[in-house]
Amino acid sequence: MKIKKALIAMSGGVDSSVAAYMIKEAGYEAIGITMKLYSNEDICLNKSKTCCSLDDIQDARNVAEALDIPYYVLNFTDDFKEKVIDKFVDSYTHAYTPNPCIDCNHFIKFSRLMQRAAELECDYVVTGHYANIEFDGISGRWLLRKGADPSKDQSYVLYSMTQEQLSKTLFPLGRLFKTEIREMASGLKMVTADKHDSQDICFVPDNDYASFIEKYTGKKFPPGDFIDKHGNKLGTHNGIIRYVIGQRKGLGLALPKPMYVSNVNTEDNTVTLVYAEDLLGTSLDAADINLISVPDLYEPKRVKAKIRYKQEEQWATVVQTSENTFHLDFDIPQRAITPGQAVVLYDGDTVVGGGTIIRPSA
């Protein structure tokens, strides 16, 4: 019987390190790889500084050596710049709030990396995501399910995976809790055992998105007016890229009552502020949809949906409106429905599908 071959994406963190160990222990022929996604120049980092990803590469290499598996670094910098960084910048400059982790999964990890795996004659791509993949013999479809650890479940950022991608992907950590992963890594004396989880956006090292965008584009975004929903001026903002829908902190205004960003208008360079009750919405339209557990949604379907990663799922009714779009009505009004963010649909612990919010709707 032929031994299955698996290409393991090793980020240099504890999750992918343990995933690599588990795959090797399961009897697969394992190959570890780290994706080089950007250079110092790409993220406007001074050449004299050491990008944190270099340390991650060394950690991944050390783990691969300890596991006695081949290890390589694959250069995806051009693809990452075009599909993730450029899209991130373009979204903010057009008043959309992007999710680059979803774009990285969609365009890089489960697209370009899977192509490279095929070239290396690997049967599977393996990552350290907290999610589960199962085949449903009744529907004949591959299903994406939540990870066992509710605090680490990553099914939300994986909704764009296709049937073919799901059939060729393994998530070894899906049925484990983070505490178990740490204990396993510690017992194996992995260099990554106590390494902190990565936070925020990997290519914005200091988490200052606005400064990054200005350096990246070479463009300054001028001040403009804060206005209320009636068009009355409330003050002066510091450039539209510094504000997202639902934001309350960092406005720099002395207001008698808390107000929140409800709209960013690139044409007249205004940012609209409203009170909390005016930030609620009951419906949305989504585009670039991907369906997993069902072939289509042309008949209305009851689902639970979430419009941001950490949100608790909410009951809603969804109906597909074209090949690439669907409309969603929530049972209860939701706060700050944000264009550019993902809306993901669930049936229990199974991902039905999802899409990119293009607008709240009445």
For 106-116, write each residue's pLDDT tens digit: 999 999 999 99
* Domains within the chain, CATH numbers bracketed: 5-187 (3.40.50.620), 221-274 (2.30.30), 280-361 (2.40.30.10)
pTM, whole model, 2 decimals? 0.93
pLDDT tens digits for range 35-94: 999 876 666 555 444 444 678 899 999 999 999 999 999 999 999 999 999 999 999 999
pLDDT tens digits for range 307-349: 999 899 999 999 999 999 999 999 999 999 999 999 999 999 9
Distance of CA 157 to the CA centre of its chain: 4
CA nearest 316: which of 274, 361, 279, 275?
361
Determine whether the annotation assigns residue 167 to a binding site. Answer: no
- The per-type count for the chain, helices as H runs and strands as E runs, is 9, 17
pLDDT tens digits for range 288-303: 999 999 999 999 999 9
CA nearest 337: which of 225, 268, 260?
260
Beta bridge partners of 58: none
Beta bridge partners of 224: 237
SS3 percent helix, strand, coil of the chain, rounded to 5, is: 30, 30, 40
**What would the DSSP string read from start to end of 173-219?**
TTTS-HHHHHHHHHHTT-TTTTPPPP-S-TT-TTS-HHHHHHHHHT-
Beta bridge partners of 285: 327, 359
Determine whether the annotation assigns residue 90 to a binding site. Answer: no
Determine whether the annotation assigns residue 15 to a binding site. Answer: yes
Structure confidence at residue 1 (pLDDT)? 72
Whole-number Cα distances in Å, 135 to 142, 163, 168, 289, 292: 4, 10, 11, 21, 11
Contact 40, 51 (CB under 8 A): yes
d(CA 324, CA 100): 20
CA nearest 104: which of 72, 70, 127, 71?
127
What's the pLDDT band for 267 if we cut at 50, 70, 90? very high
Structure confidence at residue 49 (pLDDT)? 43
Mean pLDDT, residues 142-153? 97
Mean pLDDT, residues 276-292? 96
> CA 149, 169, 304, 199 torsion: positive or negative?
positive
Distance of CA 272 to the CA centre of its chain: 27
CA nearest 200: which of 106, 88, 94, 57?
88
Determine whether the annotation assigns residue 259 to a binding site. Answer: no
List, by residue number, the catalytic residues: 104, 202
Structure confidence at residue 51 (pLDDT)? 44
Mean pLDDT, residues 151-163? 97
**What would the DSSP string read from start to end of 93-159?**
HTT----HHHHHIIIIIIIIHHHHHHHTT-SEEE---SEEEEEETTTTEEEEEE-S-TTT--GGGGT
Kind and range of the H or E run holding 262: strand 260-265
Residue 244: helix, strand or coil by DSSP? coil
d(CA 317, CA 302): 5
Residue 161: helix, strand or coil by DSSP? coil
Determine whether the annotation assigns residue 322 to a binding site. Answer: no
**Hey, what are 111's tokens?**
């697209």
Determine whether the annotation assigns residue 283 to a binding site. Answer: no
Mean pLDDT, residues 251-277? 95
Kind and range of the H or E run holding 361: strand 350-361
Percent share of the chain, pLDDT over 90: 88
Determine whether the annotation assigns residue 35 to a binding site. Answer: yes
How high does pLDDT run on average in the chain?
93
Beta bridge partners of 359: 285
Determine whether the annotation assigns residue 39 to a binding site. Answer: no
Is the pLDDT at 203 greater than 90? The verdict is no
Distance of CA 44 to the CA centre of its chain: 22
Contact 143, 349 (CB under 8 A): no
Determine whether the annotation assigns residue 20 to a binding site. Answer: no
Query: Residues near 160 by Cβ (< 8 Å), separated by ≥ 6?
Result: 102, 105, 106, 110, 290, 354
Contact 74, 125 (CB under 8 A): no
Beta bridge partners of 74: 35
Is the pLDDT at 14 greater than 90? The verdict is yes
